[in-house]
Amino acid sequence: MPRDPMRKRSFVKAAKPDKGGLLLGYARVSKGDEQTNTLQARALRAAGCRRIFEEAASGGRWDRPELHRMLDHLREGDAVVVWKLDRLSRSLKDVLHIMERIAKAGAGFRSITENIDTTTPAGRMMMQMVGAFAEFERAMIKERTSAGLAAARAEGRIGGRRKKLDAAKRREIAESVITSRKSGAEMARLYNVSQPTVSRIVAQHRMVHP
């Protein structure tokens, strides 16, 4: 019997990724929380997730092993599914970065509670908006960095960290070591620098003042 082209598909079926991709679930509770991932995992399995990555970690941390393991497993056509958006991260910056990683992998994203689904046209538009915000953030960081370098040049600095020791301190170190008033180790401890740094200062001083 021919299939009716006007027949509506179920949400879960419509949300399945193309090209035989998988639905990968991610469940998280805060470390030390009395709750468990049981309810989240149950909802993710009901949504069709074949594999679920679970962990107990703060949503503000970026170094979450299971999150990165899931992102590394993503392939084109897959979709990441979470019970709620804040399970992914409590940091907007991290959420944007994770969304970028998902998009670059050619995968989709779904949040069950907020009804977000980037495998639909509306969801893809949201992903484009997320990308625009991320691009704006990068531009702002670049602009602030350029402004900082310009200010450093205006103050006579060429960028990078300022030297710990000014000319007077370097001269004091060199003369103390050369005249044996202090040892190199003592001057290193006094000025909180390494002994190789003291040796370089002494060598440079001797070159300028043989």
Give the angle subtended at the CA of 166 by the CAs of 160 and 171, to the nearest 5°: 135
Rounded to an integer, what distance in angstroms lies between the CA atom of residue 22 and that of residue 33? 30
CB 63 within 8 A of CB 69: no
The closest alpha carbon to 47, from 101, 117, 100, belongs to 117
CB 126 within 8 A of CB 116: yes
Per the listing, tokens 């990308």 go with 131
H helix intervals, the chain: 11-15, 38-46, 65-73, 85-88, 92-104, 121-154, 167-178, 184-191, 195-208
The closest alpha carbon to 187, from 165, 160, 158, 161, belongs to 165
Rounded to an integer, what distance in angstroms lies between the CA atom of residue 93 and that of residue 76? 24
Catalytic residue numbers read 30
